[in-house]
Amino acid sequence: MARVFSGIQPSGGMHLGNLLGALRNWAAYQSEHEAVYCVVDLHALTTAPDPAELREHTLAAAALLMSAGIDPERSTLFVQSSVGEHAELAWMMECTVGFGELRRMTQFKDKADRSDFVSAGLFTYPALQAADILLYDTDLVPVGDDQRQHIELCRDIAERFNHRYGDTFTVPAHVIPETGARVMDLQNPTDKMSKSLESAGTVAILEEAAAVARKFKRAVTDSENEVRYDPVAKPGVSNLLGILASASGRTPQAVAGEYTQYGPLKADTADAVNSLLDPIRNRYAELSSDPAEVARLLAAGADKARTTAAATLKRAQTNAGLLPRPPLAPSS
């Protein structure tokens, strides 16, 4: 059975882009694949979040993934820092990736431009991401379009390591959905929807239905009055078409053929999105009232993850010439 791995940062306010670009597809993979999903709290440390918030967001992210259909019984769902092998393999990845390769990453350039303090961790972020993926002999990595470059770099790292040290890692491929891979901000439709940019243009998964409807009603379109799918000339309208298409399992072109006015398009998009979000919001309300149960499920997930991760790390260390780890001295 092919293995699938993906990760998401535990920052607050997961949004519609995360759902359509990633989470929905993660849930779909569980039936015919061995799925491993991770809340990547070590990646979040690259921007020094408040400790109390990080703790809260990590549990909330896990509860949200479960609410969005990731079943901890069928998948392996865990928190990255609970499995020490991620940080350990990341060092070997940093010694495999080139400085020049990391410097070309557009996500690094974007984030660095927006920050006063740029940590070394923000720079080496893709090396940790490669460790996440390679530890599980991953075949497929379902992500939104913004992660394409990171997954391609992960492939290059795996191939370089295998070339240097002999066959060690499975070389993974990304899977990017045809619609929903790049949900844009409703107010600034040339920027992608994002949780780090606070904006009336971001639709949070847990936002109330009425607020979601209001945001779609106020979505920026253009001064023409023609419904047509053309992301370059008509980014706002095309974003709505893409969201409705993704939420209803059609193509944006087919959806465009059904509308002549912006008002009904906005209203139907809001309705389709609210139908997707309703069950998630309801399950989240139940799960978040029992954080101990969420923590218990995560601990069981970490246990499952560790078995595979430990075997892969050992293989990588042995192949690279590190000595076997001596057993712990018996305590006196």
Q: 183, 203, 256, 294: which one contacts ligand AMP (CB under 6 A)?
A: 183
Closest CA to 79 of 43, 107, 48, 39: 39
Q: Which of residues 120-149 bind ligand AMP (CB under 6 A)?
A: 143-144, 146-147
Rounded-to-integer distance, Cα 151 and Cα 300, Å: 27
Longest dimension (CA), the chain: 81
Q: Is the dihedral of CA 108, 15, 276, 246 positive or negative?
A: negative
- H or E stretch including 101? helix 99-103
Q: Select the binding partner of residue 21 from ligand AMP, ligand TRP, none (C-beta < 5 to 8 A, by kind).
A: ligand AMP
* Rounded-to-integer distance, Cα 33 and Cα 4, Å: 7
CB distance 308 to 135 below 8 Å = yes
User: Percentages helix, strand, coil for the chain, rounded to the nearest 5?
Assistant: 55, 10, 35
Q: Per CB under 6 A, does 42 bind ligand TRP?
A: no
Q: Tokens standing for 42? A: 């070590």
Ordered DSSP codes for 13-67: --BHHHIIIIIHHHHHHTTTSEEEEEE-HHHHGGG---HHHHHHHHHHHHHHHHH
Closest CA relative to residue 14, chosen from 295, 296, 327, 288: 288
CB of 192 or CB of 306, closer to ligand AMP? 192
Does 153 engage in binding with ligand AMP (CB under 6 A)?
A: no
Choose from ligand TRP, ligand AMP, none: what does 168 bind? Cβ within 5-8 Å by kind: none
9 binds ligand AMP (CB under 6 A): yes
Instruction: Rule CB under 6 A: say whether 150 interacts with ligand AMP.
Output: no
Applying CB under 6 A, which part among 57-65, 67-75, 179-187, 230-238 lies near ligand AMP?
Answer: 179-187
Among 25, 81, 147, 246, binds ligand TRP (CB under 6 A): 147
Instruction: State which residue, 87 or 267, has the beta carbon closest to ligand TRP.
Output: 87
Nearer to ligand TRP, 104 or 296 (CB): 104
- How many angstroms separate the CA atoms of 13 and 198, rounded? 10
121-126's contacts with Cβ under 8 Å and 24+ in sequence apart are 121/45, 121/46, 122/46, 122/47, 124/90, 124/94, 124/97, 125/43, 125/46, 126/97, 126/102, 126/150, 126/153, 126/154
215 binds ligand AMP (CB under 6 A): no
Does residue number 97 form part of the binding site for ligand AMP (CB under 6 A)?
A: no
Q: How many residues bind ligand TRP (CB under 6 A)?
A: 14
Q: Rounded to the nearest whole angstrom, what is the least distance from the CB of residue 59 to ligand AMP in the complex?
A: 16
Q: What residues between 14 and 53 interact with ligand AMP by CB under 6 A?
A: 17-18, 20-22
SS3 3: strand
The listed partner (ligand AMP, ligand TRP, none) that binds 3, CB under 5 to 8 Å by sort, is: none
Separation between Cα atoms, residue 278 and residue 283, nearest integer Å? 9
- Choosing from 109, 195, 234, 266, the catalytic residue is 195
CB of 167 to ligand AMP, least distance (A): 28
Name which position in 129, 269, 274, 308 contacts ligand TRP (CB under 6 A).
Answer: 129
Q: Write down the least CB distance from residue 235 to ligand TRP, Å.
A: 22
Number of residues that bind ligand AMP (CB under 6 A): 16
Q: Which residues are catalytic?
A: 111, 192, 195
- Give the residues lining the site for ligand AMP (CB under 6 A): 8-9, 17-18, 20-22, 143-144, 146-147, 181-183, 192-193
- Give the residues lining the site for ligand TRP (CB under 6 A): 5-9, 40, 43, 129, 132-133, 141, 143, 147, 150
